[in-house]
Amino acid sequence: MEEDIKPDIKPVIDEIPKEPDDKKTSLCVALKILKKYNLNSTAETLKKEANLTDSAYNTSEHDVNNALNIFKSQGDPSVYENAYITLSKFVETSLDIYKHELGCVLYPVFVHMYLDLVCNRYEAEALKFMNKFGPEQESYYQADIQNLAVITKKEELDDNALISNYKSNEFVVRMSRDTLSLLKRHLKEKKQTVLLDIVQENLFFDVYEGIARNKQQIDAVAGGMIGEGTRQDNKSRVYYGLLKEPDLQTAAATVNLDEDEEETQESEKPKKKKSKSNPLLSKKTKIDPNAPPLDRMPLPQLREIDKKIKVQAVLDSAKRVALNHETLPSICCYTLLNCSNAVNCATISDDATMLAVGMANSQVRVWSLVPQKLRAMKTADQLLDIDLESDDVMHRILDDRSAETTRTLLGHYGPVYQVSFSPDKTLLLSCSEDCTIRLWSLLLWSCVVAYKGSYHPVFDVKFSLHGYYFATASRDRTARLWATDNYQALRLFSGHFSDVDCCQFHPNSNYIATGSSDRTVRLWDCVTGEQVRLMTGHKGEILTLCFSNEGRVLASAGNDCNILLWDIAHGHLVAMLTGHKGPIYTITFSRDSTILATGSHDCKIMLWDYSKLLEDLSLDDMNVHNPTVLNNSSKYLLRAFGTKNSPVIHLFFSRRNIMFCVCSFNSPQSS
């Protein structure tokens, strides 16, 4: 039978080296403790004798708890190691049905015991504790443990962002009620004050009724920097449905319905109008019961050019290839040469006519992917002679003499991390290490606005599918919602514990998804600014996000080489796909939501059978408390294509389901 280990609480504060402010800090903590237990007269006496001001009552709760822990552990730092060993043995000897959930408390207890040892200036014992128990923690926490291990002195604690996260936030552990009762019984029997205080003050138990989860279910959603998301985090309703499409029949009258006639540079005359009704455009769309009200998010009014673009998209969809496991997409690959390690990002316009690339040398390059070259707007004097009411006014205002195959946009002062086309192709957004977002006119080929909302590098920028709005992700741990006509951000989304690496608009533009280095995916409401989903399961930084076309499923991928699929209706992980051997930079769905494509640093493109996966999921019939996570990757992998030493940085499905791929060739010498 194990011997109970009781900490020696004999005060030996004099043995600890003091700094000039230690005395005052200790008095403030003592004052706060007296107030906490309603010893008001004693508190006033202490305040008067020590010449303390009212600000002394503002001492943080963490300082109070830390002072108590120092008192309880004085003189015997071995109580931490003994308590951890006792807890570890308890987990190992528990029944298999409870063992895996109980094991979830080991990592946060390890972290806070190490921090307490460092804070109490037991540096040698802290190093021994780290070396002995650090390697025992799960592999997905090892990067954080390495970050903790470099902190060996009390003075270094406040300068570490990871430690600040652990100090100011409770680690969330999801646990069945039976498992939690077992843990409480153990803590009560052993009476280890240090362990009990750490569990009570630094852990939050999200308790559920039912059978304890197995190791596979726990590992699937583990990995978050501060634990799992709680049920409260995923309780809000999400309107994941699509908005009703506008009536396009009137706009179709000005669009050429002869889809076989290709537009060329020589034939730029006004197209012949056909008043004949098109069945594709007259088809009525059903109202999605899960769609947000039309007036919930103030979207911009459709202009004539927007309606024409939508009409053309519908006409292109009529020629869309139906993809399945037997009919895979044709792939058109664009490889960027002579730019090893110089290309950071790439994107293709929705109609697949332009390619934009962000470079490490601060340039933005734009190429035309069709015979029609990139033209600039005519001079102001020449524009006076143009009939603005003509149907082809957009062609008339452009100067044929300025046509070029490629354009270079200069203005950033640091590497460009992401670029994004507006739906009408007249604007381009870019974000950079120089902490700015720039809006470029693709008619003037110059910067028209520089947005400065952060003092940190901006890693991602995305236009809304409805235009006007755009989202950014930054190293300052925030995402922001902007409008093109406003210098200031409309919404600030704060809640991540580390860099926000990527963002993505929902197809209905009411929500923004973000992925972070804290290994969580979050969903934000653009209307309220609130976080409505928090999803954990990634084991590394999240680099790319993509919503399915119907809006219910969110796909994410990143440095852990895994592709995770989330049901945003409930905030659950529903599938995990593995196969890549390097970080995944890009992920996209085919236009008919049958194929999921991923591209990676391992120079491979993988196609997954998304339609088959949806059949196996049965989203409407799943267990909302502990859903089954599909992880049979070989069952859903359709094909893997390799490139020639060229990491895949962007994938895109055209309106006709042709897949476009952008790669950056790395010569063997630079690899």
Judge if 250 and 350 occupy the same domain.
no
Judge if 340 and 410 occupy the same domain.
yes
Rounded Cα distance between 465 and 483, Å, is 13
Rounded Cα distance between 466 and 366, Å, is 22
Judge if 436 and 584 occupy the same domain.
yes
High-pLDDT (> 90) share of the chain, %? 67
Q: Which of 484-498, 546-560, 600-614, 621-635 has the lowest mean pLDDT?
A: 621-635
Q: Which of 11, 32, 155, 158 is nearest to 74 (CA)?
A: 11
> Using N-to-C axis directions, what is the helix angle for 106-119 and 123-133, rounded to 10°?
160
What radius of gyration do the chain's Cα atoms show? Answer: 29
Whether residue 537 contacts residue 522, with contact meaning beta carbons closer than 8 Å, is answered with: no
- At residue 67 the predicted structure's pLDDT band, cuts being 50, 70 and 90, is low
Phi, psi of 546, deg, nearest 5: -155, 130
Domain edge (last residue) among 265, 283, 318: 318
The contacts of residue 261 (CB under 8 Å, 6+ apart) are none
Judge if 312 and 335 occupy the same domain.
no
When the pLDDT of each residue in the chain is averaged and rounded to a whole number, the result is 87
- Does 79 map to a domain? yes
Rounded Cα distance between 566 and 629, Å, is 10
Judge if 161 and 250 occupy the same domain.
no
Judge if 43 and 72 occupy the same domain.
yes
Token pair for 261: 């006639």
Position 257 pLDDT exceeds 50: no
- At residue 615 the predicted structure's pLDDT band, cuts being 50, 70 and 90, is very high
H or E stretch covering 532: strand 531-536
Judge if 617 and 480 occupy the same domain.
yes
- At residue 280 the predicted structure's pLDDT band, cuts being 50, 70 and 90, is low
pLDDT at 628: 81
Record the pTM. 0.85
Position 268 pLDDT exceeds 70: no
Judge if 342 and 309 occupy the same domain.
no
- Does 416 map to a domain? yes
Q: Is the dihedral of CA 157, 159, 163, 168 positive or negative?
A: positive
Mean pLDDT of 220-243: 93
- Residue 380 burial (CB count, 10 A): 7
- At residue 2 the predicted structure's pLDDT band, cuts being 50, 70 and 90, is very low
Q: Which residue has the higher pLDDT, 4 or 253?
A: 253
pLDDT at 265: 43
- Does 8 map to a domain? no
- Residue 48 burial (CB count, 10 A): 9
> CA angle, 618 as apex, 617 and 624 as ends, to 5°?
85
- At residue 541 the predicted structure's pLDDT band, cuts being 50, 70 and 90, is very high
Mean pLDDT of 446-466: 95
Position 205 pLDDT exceeds 60: yes
- In DSSP terms, 388 is beta-bridged to none
Position 562 pLDDT exceeds 70: yes
- At residue 17 the predicted structure's pLDDT band, cuts being 50, 70 and 90, is very low
* The total number of structural domains that make up the chain: 3
Judge if 511 and 538 occupy the same domain.
yes
- Does 183 map to a domain? yes
Position 214 pLDDT exceeds 70: yes
- At residue 667 the predicted structure's pLDDT band, cuts being 50, 70 and 90, is confident
pLDDT at 59: 59
Judge if 429 and 498 occupy the same domain.
yes
- Does 274 map to a domain? no
pLDDT at 259: 45
pLDDT at 397: 79
CATH of the domain at 439: 2.130.10.10
What residue numbers bound the domain in which 54 lies?
A: 13-213
Judge if 444 and 537 occupy the same domain.
yes
- Does 3 map to a domain? no
CATH of the domain at 175: 1.25.40.500
Judge if 92 and 159 occupy the same domain.
yes
Position 391 pLDDT exceeds 60: yes
> Using N-to-C axis directions, what is the helix angle for 40-49 and 22-36, rounded to 10°?
160
- At residue 642 the predicted structure's pLDDT band, cuts being 50, 70 and 90, is very high
Q: Is the dihedral of CA 351, 325, 581, 546 positive or negative?
A: positive
Position 528 pLDDT exceeds 80: yes
- Does 275 map to a domain? no
Position 264 pLDDT exceeds 60: no
Q: Which residue has the higher pLDDT, 17 or 122?
A: 122
- Does 543 map to a domain? yes
Q: How far is CA 260 from CA 257, 315, 521, in A?
A: 9, 11, 43
Token pair for 508: 């209905």
Token pair for 444: 């003037």
pLDDT at 622: 66
Q: Which residue has the higher pLDDT, 34 or 630?
A: 630
